[in-house]
Each structure stands twice: as structure tokens, then as C-alpha cells.
Amino acid sequence: MVVAVKKIESPGETRMEAELDKQFESEATVLGGIRHRNIVKLLGYISGVDTKLLLYEYIER
């Protein structure tokens, strides 16, 4: 299986990290629940201290 990875790195500022965490969790929750033929499927996510990854199905054009 081939996957696409969206990497989100921490900006290093505490205030911005809190907002980034909130946006990351929101994207993972919303996209994890959507099933539509025109939207790529979110397969999973990894949330680390400095880096967050979203794993999507890979679709060729």
C-alpha cells in the first residue's frame, strides 16, 4: 500500500503549539469520519512532541 504523508512541524512557540494541536486534532477527527469518493481517506495519524503526521491514501492523477 502506498500512502501520502502530511507532516506538520512544531513552530516552537507555546502559544502557537496549542493552536496547532487544536487544528491537528480537528482535522484528524473530521477527516477520519468522512467517507466520500471525491475526498481522500485519512488512514491514521501520529502525534509526537515536535512533529505530527497525517496519513492519507495515495491517489494518482
pLDDT over 70 for what percent of the chain?
Answer: 98
User: How many CB atoms are located within 10 Å of the residue 42 CB?
Assistant: 19
Query: Domain segments of the chain: what residues?
Result: 3-57
Do the beta carbons of residue 42 and residue 51 sit within 8 Å?
A: no
Cell numbers given for 42: 485519512
Give residue-wise pLDDT tens across range 24-52: 889 889 988 999 988 899 999 998 877 88
CATH class of 3-57: alpha beta
Q: Residue 21 corresponds to which amino acid? A: D
Q: What average pLDDT does the chain have? A: 87
